[in-house]
Amino acid sequence: MSAAKKATSAEQKQRSVVLEVLENPKLWAFLAKFTLGVLFFISGFTTANTNYFEQYPLFDIPFLAEFLIGLAAGAFGFHTLPIIAARVKDWFEDFLAKEINKIVSRFWDEQSKRMSQARRDRDKRQQKEREMKNKEELEGAVLLDTSILIDGRLLDIVETGFFDWQLVVPQAVLDEAHLISDSSDDLKRQRGRRGLDMINALKKVGSVRIFKAHGDISKTEGVDKELIRLAKKYKTKIMTLDFNLNKVAQAENIPVLNVNELTNALKTNILPGENLKVKIVQKGKERGQGVGYLEDGTMIVVVGAEGKIGKTLSAQVSRVIQTEAGKMIFCET
């Protein structure tokens, strides 16, 4: 190796050592502490250099007091002050972190409260809008029970044109009719399917709609209580043939439309003393009685017609009795 190359290599090593020394943080920390110590020594020495120590030097040695005070001040600056500064720095950083954390936490708490309140306000607004929409849909409507759909007479009544209310089938009623139509019992299955057919037929004439809204299907309380709840909440009528539902609705002051009552009201009004033509079709409960029916289904009980089954008689009305099942007319030949 040539001398020039050796010299270059030695210079590079020197530079590397110098850079390592200069980049050493401990060195700079020592230099900073040493500088503080020197500055504090000078400050202490200068401060202590007063007339008092000039007149009364310590142990009669000039500048001894100033040197000792400066030395104590330098030791404080070199050793104690950096420790205090480090602890103050740690305390300040911890304090600052805690305060920032409090501010951030308070900010997010406020934001969370605002977001929660905004969500509650939005839910209330949406709920109010749904309630208004439901109220508009059910205003002046009649809620149909499963029994009235299975009965089958409602379509004929609607087609006469005398009935102009909006008919509404709650989702709970539709579900019940569907459940009955899937029954293993043949009779129940036929009744359920007839109820579904009735809904489809009413849809074709534009007289019925299905009402489905949040919270309107009460699987735990049953269909009857659901109808009562909807009728009370939205002030609607109920159309049913269910005796118990009829009684409960009346107790709750809910208007009830009963097809049987309508049928009885439309039957021919017969007065005592009128003469009727009636065909005897069976024996009556009492001895000597024969039973026949008018075209509207009204039962006619004819005294003295037990042996005249199959014959058409002229009979005079003696009395008319109104029962829950309808009118019963008693006649004499």
Phi, psi torsion values for 66, nearest 5 degrees: -65, -40
Q: For 41-53, what is each residue's pLDDT tens digit?
A: 777 777 767 766 6
pLDDT band at 8 (very low <50, low <70, confident <90, very high): low
**pLDDT beyond 50 at 179:** yes
pLDDT band at 59 (very low <50, low <70, confident <90, very high): low
The answer to whether residue 223 sits within a structural domain is yes
Q: Are residues 239 and 297 in the same domain?
A: no
**pLDDT beyond 60 at 5:** no
Q: Write down the mean pLDDT value for the chain.
A: 80
Distance of CA 21 to the CA centre of its chain: 71
Q: Are residues 277 and 306 in the same domain?
A: yes
Mean pLDDT, to the nearest integer, of 305-331? 83
Query: Which of 90, 113, 134 lies at the terminal end of a domain, its last residue?
Result: 134
Q: Are residues 300 and 244 in the same domain?
A: no
**Alpha-carbon Rg of the chain, whole angstroms?**
53
Q: How many domains does the chain have?
A: 3
**pLDDT beyond 50 at 133:** yes
pLDDT band at 165 (very low <50, low <70, confident <90, very high): confident
pLDDT band at 10 (very low <50, low <70, confident <90, very high): low
Q: Are residues 112 and 22 in the same domain?
A: yes
Q: For 81-126, what is each residue's pLDDT tens digit?
A: 778 888 888 888 899 999 999 999 998 999 889 999 999 999 888 8
Q: What would the two tokens of residue 228 be?
A: 């009562």
The answer to whether residue 247 sits within a structural domain is yes
The answer to whether residue 4 sits within a structural domain is no
Q: Is the pTM of this model over 0.75?
A: no
CA–CA dist 124, 97 (Å, integer): 40
Q: Are residues 205 and 283 in the same domain?
A: no
The answer to whether residue 243 sits within a structural domain is yes
The answer to whether residue 190 sits within a structural domain is yes
Q: What is the extent of the structural domain holding 317?
A: 268-332
Return the CATH number at 324.
Answer: 2.40.50.140
